Structure 1
Amino acid sequence: MFGLFKKTSEVDKLQKQYEKLMAQWHKLSTTNRTESDKVYAEAQIIGDKIEKLKQL
Structure 2
Amino acid sequence: MFSFLKPDPIKKLRKHYDQKLEQAMQAQRKGDIKTYSLLTAESETIWHQIEALEKSNK
Same structural fold, with TM-score higher than 0.5 when normalized by the shorter chain: yes
TM-score tier by shorter-chain length is 0.7 to 0.9
1:8 Cα deviation after fit: 2.6
Q: Structure 2-normalised TM-score?
A: 0.81
Aligned to 1:43: 43
Q: How does 1:1-56 map to 2 (within 5 A)?
A: 6-31=5-30, 32-56=32-56
| Count of aligned pairs | 52
For 1:11, give the aligned amino acid. I
By percentage of residues, which structure has more helix? 2
1:54 Cα deviation after fit: 0.3
Identity %: 25
Structure 1 spans left out of the alignment, 5+ residues:
none
1:6 Cα deviation after fit: 3.3
For 1:44, give the aligned amino acid. E
